[in-house]
Amino acid sequence: MPRHRPRSPRVMAQVAMVMNLDKCIGCHTCSVTCKQTWTNRSGTEYVWFNNVETRPGQGYPRGYEDQDTWKGGWHLKGGRLVPRTGGRARRLARLFANPELPRLDDYYQPWTYDYDTLTTAPLGDDVPTAPPRSLIDGRPTAVTWGPNWDDDLGGGPEHLAGDPVLARMSEKVRLEYEQAFMFYLPRICEHCLNPSCVAVCPSGAMYKRIEDGIVLVDQDRCRGWRMCVSGCPYKKVYFNHRSGKAEKCTLCYPRIEAGEPTVCSETCVGRLRYLGVVLYDPDKVGEAAATPDEKDLYEAQLGCFLDPEDPAVARAAADSGIPHDWIEAARRSPVHALISRYRVALPLHPEYRTMPMVWYVPPLSPVVDALTATGHDGEDPVNLFGAIDSLRIPLGYLAELFTAGDPGPVEAALCRLAAMRSHMRRINLGEERDPAIAAAVGLDQDGIEAMYRLLALAKYEERYVIPTSYTATPGGHAAMDSCSLDGDGLPGMMPYDDAGTFHAPLSPEPAAAGSGLAGRLNLLNWNGRGRPAGLFPKRNEDTR
């Protein structure tokens, strides 16, 4: 960033996301559309840039939040911020075998079915079956774990015991928890302000984009040292085992550059995702991430954000080279509103010290449900405020997720949501408005109604306020006319098996042993064009 005037503070812009967990129904549409767009290639069978996990639950990969095992994120060593996996020398010493790399079993072993036997099995008394085959080595396999295996608390208490967040809570809580509370947590890359995956990459292939803060992997510079996989505490960098490169959520940057929301946001049926610009002071990030007490990290990160309404901030942002329409977008940013103005959104695991930039509005609905189940009026403000405080179980769990265990900010956010419900119910029932409800949570009536509009109505134009990328090239709206993935050699992601592109020969597609699938096309890898060899089975000449 060029510093034009040394006195004005540096300002950087970040495209950030907020998800309203109250509205997530766990339908996995975001995961599926994301996978169809980005990771439907061989080598990434097990990869979900976006996944939705049931809480309480182990998550994906299993138990990823247990940093004593995986060593993701940063920790303080003598007051200095050091990647938990160790400093530079230790990283280089472990280059030849990374001790903290999750195994494929920690995600799951990808598989397919030998559908061929359904049509080619000889006539017999038994109904033919399609036995599972490993997508890794093509051999017959037993399916013992898969994506969302423990969805909706499936699998019961033995799987719950593997939840690292639950493990930090008391025994009583653990026993009562599954009756009390369940919600869904959609996760993408956090595009952190202080990304530890970038910090541990020996090749310098990973970087944070200056203009929009998106964290990316340069596929041409990645050498497959796989340190980023362990370095990311959210385990959102994946290793493509066929190309030998790291891949991660790109925040759909070609769409963002064109002013469109990410695929996961666009296709979210619950309309729970918000995208917008946040302005922050990059010089404060290091200090904030090194805050001694983990519980202060949430406040410290809030302190890094700048108020775009402040004329001094707008001036400094312009001085830092941020385009005018970005500053304008930052003012209308739903993300900034939910994080800083209404303070209902909270970061996921701030204790990892990466300063994550995908925040969450904690779910209030389970509290209302629990209250209604006990015969109370679940939306009465008096009942609701009391219940939030007394339902220690969900509050403690949410605090472990969002505020390093400090229930204060979670309680405040839930109370704001409760106040919004009560306030809006009075309006809906034609009762007189009660300004005391809004005042009780530090808001005014207009503020609470604006928050209601943003959270409950969630209009498309208000959910996604994304400025198009600015290109300073003369004559240039180049970025807006076309997708930034168009063109030769871009995006550097692994090409489909089309002829014409030179790349090192990849390992052969594993043949499905003992089945008729040999020589057949894996439809997951088909780009939909033409009629590649192996799309249809070979015609058996004898039968004609």
Partner 1 sequence: MNHLHIALWGVLPYLVLTLFAAGAAWRYHYDRFGFTTRSSQLHEHRLLAVGGPLFHYGLLFVIAGHVVGLLIPETLTERLRVSESLYHANALLVGGTAGLATVTGLGILLYRRLRVPAVRAATSRGDRAVYPLLATVLLAGLTATATGVGHHSYDYRRGVSIWFRSLFTLDPDVPAMAHAPLVYRIHALLAMVLFALWPFSRLVHAFTAPVGYLTRPYVVYRSRTPAPRR
The contact set with partner 1 (CB under 8 A) reads: 83, 88-89, 91-92, 95-99, 101, 103-104, 134, 136-139, 194-195, 198-199, 201-204, 206-212, 218-226, 239, 241-245, 257, 469, 471-473, 492, 494, 502-508, 510
Task: Let me know the angle formed at the C-alpha of 446 by 11 and 385, rounded to the nearest 5 degrees.
Answer: 95
Do residues 64 and 349 lie in contact, with contact meaning Cβ atoms separated by under 8 Å? no
Q: How far is the CB of 295 from partner 1 (least distance, A)?
A: 24
Q: Which is nearer to partner 1, 297 or 415 (CB)?
A: 297
Angle at 358 between CA 352 and CA 359, to 5 degrees: 90
Cβ-contact 46, 104 below 8 angstroms: yes
DSSP state of 340: I
Beta strand 358-361 with 12-20 is parallel
The single-letter code of the amino acid at 102 is: P
Closest approach of partner 1 to the CB of residue 241, in Å: 5
What element of type H or E holds 186? strand 183-187
Q: How far is it, in rounded angstroms, from Cα 196 to Cα 232?
A: 6
Q: How far is the CB of 448 from partner 1 (least distance, A)?
A: 38
**256 vs 300, beta carbon nearer partner 1:** 256
Consecutive H or E run containing 38? helix 29-38
Least distance in angstroms from the C-beta of 218 to partner 1: 8
Distances (CA, A) of 109 to 32, 142, 143, 332, 445: 18, 10, 8, 44, 52
User: What's the rounded Cα separation, in Å, for the pair 173 and 302?
Assistant: 30
CB nearer to partner 1: pick between 104 and 130: 104
Q: With b meaning 16 or more CB within 10 Å and e meaning fewer, what string describes 151-161?
A: bebeeeeebbe
* Of 348, 264, 302, the residue nearest 72 (C-alpha): 348
DSSP one-letter code for 278: E
Min separation Cβ 224 and partner 1, Å: 4
Residue 265 or residue 469: which is nearer to partner 1 going by CB? 469
Among residues 198 and 264, whose Cβ is nearest to partner 1? 198
Rounded to a whole number of angstroms, the minimum distance from the CB of residue 266 to partner 1 is: 22
Nearest approach, Cβ of 233 to partner 1 (angstroms)? 15
- Token duo for residue 530: 């033409």
The smaller minimum CB distance to partner 1, of residues 71 and 245, is found at 245
Residue 51 vs 54, nearer CB to partner 1: 51
From the CB of 198, what's the least distance to partner 1, in Å?
A: 5
CB of 327 closer than 8 Å to CB of 318: yes
Structure tokens at 316: 């400094």
- With beta carbons less than 8 A apart as the criterion, state whether 257 and 97 touch: no
Q: Which is nearer to partner 1, 508 or 528 (CB)?
A: 508
Q: Which residues pair with 80 in a beta bridge?
A: 77
Cβ of 484: how many Cβ atoms within 10 Å?
16
Which C-beta is closer to partner 1: that of 54 or that of 219? 219
State which residue, 134 or 383, has the beta carbon closest to partner 1.
Answer: 134
Q: To the nearest whole angstrom, how small is the minimum distance from the Cβ of residue 90 to partner 1? A: 11
Indicate the residue among 203 and 340 with the shorter CB distance to partner 1.
203
CB of 275 to partner 1, least distance (A): 17
CA 520 to CA 528: how far, in whole Å?
Answer: 15
What is the phi/psi pair of residue 30, to 5°? -60, -45
How near is the Cβ of 222 to partner 1 at its closest, in Å? 7
**Closer of 304 and 338 to partner 1 (Cβ):** 304
d(CA 100, CA 72): 9
CB of 507 to partner 1, least distance (A): 5
Strands 74-77 and 237-240: unpaired
For residue 415, report the phi and psi dihedrals to the nearest 5 degrees. Answer: -65, -40
CB of 103 to partner 1, least distance (A): 6
Token pair 């329409």 in the structure block, residue: 325
Q: For every residue of 237-257, which 3-state class applies, written as one string?
A: EEEECCCCEEEECCCCHHHHH
In the bound state with partner 1, the residue whose beta carbon lies nearer, of 12 and 399, is 12
Angle, CA of 452, 453 and 456, to the nearest 5°:
65
